[in-house]
């Protein structure tokens, strides 16, 4: 998290603590409205679903109202969605979740609404950004390293596969970590990568998975928004697969 986020989060927690000490009367105040925006469907077995699960937990908190919109592209459309949530729903905290929402869309809108906090998943924040903008991200490469360790143990061909969306730093981190994890088990193993070009392209994800299977890859993972297609396609080809973002276990229980 950024220094801004840590500092402001402490203030928020302190305020919530004070409100809690006041009892039920504190929650008679106007609820905090939180806006959550997804680039795809909320039930994609992946990135959007993971955020939707977090939003569902937020809805359980007293004094918090959550408004959501799914299938919002990484275009000026997200600016319209954010503006609507602010002006019509009264949102004062926004989670525009997709990578491409940040620049230019969040950066363009944040100065117009200085009292609204924009919190973006992607780790793109810098000190030059507006003060009401924050960024957060997890150590995703550590999880993919563990996936790689498992892949190294399971692979019989010595070839593992990675279906990726875009060659941005976060995705490249995952590819490298997956490969290094596998090589910690089998030093000579190779990782074969195909980039589809976007976060959700079901046809290209299926084509990439089949192509990599044809090349002899026998353990797959991915960094796309909805891993469902890769998981199910790999399973149909008799391959093993490591999930990502959310659990895909029930999609391919034997793979």
- pLDDT higher than threshold 50 for residue 2: no
Q: Coil, helix or strand for 55?
A: helix
- pLDDT higher than threshold 70 for residue 151: yes
Q: Which of 22-26, 60-64, 229-233 has the lowest mean pLDDT?
A: 22-26
Distance from C-alpha of 218 to C-alpha of 156, rounded to nearest angstrom: 7
pLDDT by residue (tens digit) across 54-111? 999 999 999 999 999 999 999 999 999 999 999 999 999 999 999 999 999 999 999 9
Q: Are residues 76 and 158 in the same domain?
A: no
Q: What are phi and psi of 44, to 5 degrees?
A: -90, 10
Write down which residue in 136, 170, 190 finishes a domain. Answer: 136
Q: Are residues 90 and 112 in the same domain?
A: yes
- State the pLDDT at residue 21: 45
Write down which residue in 115, 136, 157 finishes a domain. Answer: 136
CA atoms within 13 A on the CB side of 220: 36
Q: Are residues 157 and 247 in the same domain?
A: yes
- State the pLDDT at residue 8: 56
For residue 96, the surrounding DSSP H or E stretch is strand 93-96
Distance from C-alpha of 37 to C-alpha of 82, rounded to nearest angstrom: 8
- State the pLDDT at residue 4: 46
Query: For tokens 């909805």, what's the residue?
Result: 226
CA distances from 101 to 71, 115, 128, 186 (A): 12, 19, 17, 39
Q: Are residues 159 and 243 in the same domain?
A: yes
Distance of CA 91 to the CA centre of its chain: 21
pLDDT by residue (tens digit) across 160-205? 999 999 999 999 999 999 999 999 999 999 999 999 999 999 999 9
Q: Are residues 15 and 93 in the same domain?
A: yes
Q: Pick from 243, 231, 233, 245: which is nearest to 48 by CA?
A: 245
Q: Are residues 128 and 161 in the same domain?
A: no
Q: Are residues 159 and 131 in the same domain?
A: no
Distance from C-alpha of 137 to C-alpha of 181, rounded to nearest angstrom: 21
Q: Are residues 9 and 125 in the same domain?
A: yes
With bands split at pLDDT 50, 70 and 90, how would you rate the model's confidence at 123?
confident
Total domain count, the chain: 2
Give the range of the structural domain holding residue 115, as residue numbers without chain letter: 3-136
Predicted structure pTM score: 0.82
159-164 and 219-223 as β-strands: parallel, antiparallel, unpaired? parallel
CATH code assigned at 132? 3.40.50.2300
Write down which residue in 79, 112, 136 finishes a domain. Answer: 136
């Amino acid at each position: 998290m950024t220094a801004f986020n840590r500092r402001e989060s402490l203030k928020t927690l302190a305020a919530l603590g004070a409100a809690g000490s006041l009892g039920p009367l504190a929650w008679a105040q106007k609820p905090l409205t939180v806006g959550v925006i997804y680039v795809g469907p909320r039930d994609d077995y992946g990135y959007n679903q993971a955020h939707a699960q977090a939003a569902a937990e937020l809805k359980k908190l007293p004094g918090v109202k959550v408004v959501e919109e799914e299938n919002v592209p990484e275009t000026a459309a997200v600016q319209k969605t954010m503006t609507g949530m602010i002006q019509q729903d009264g949102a004062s905290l926004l989670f525009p979740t997709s990578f491409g929402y940040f620049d230019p869309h969040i950066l363009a809108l944040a100065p117009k609404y200085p009292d609204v906090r924009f919190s973006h998943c992607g780790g793109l924040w810098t000190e030059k950004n507006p003060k009401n903008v924050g960024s957060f991200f997890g150590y995703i490469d550590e999880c993919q390293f563990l996936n790689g360790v498992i892949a190294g143990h399971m692979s019989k061909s010595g070839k593992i596969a990675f279906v990726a969306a875009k060659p941005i730093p976060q995705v490249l981190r995952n590819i490298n970590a997956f490969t290094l994890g596998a090589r910690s088990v089998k030093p000579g193993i190779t990782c074969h990568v195909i980039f589809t070009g976007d976060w959700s392209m079901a046809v290209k994800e299926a084509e990439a998975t089949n192509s990599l299977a044809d090349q002899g890859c026998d353990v797959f993972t991915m960094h796309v928004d909805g891993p469902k297609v890769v998981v199910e396609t790999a399973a149909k080809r008799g391959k093993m697969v490591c999930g990502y973002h959310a659990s895909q276990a029930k999609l391919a229980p034997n793979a």
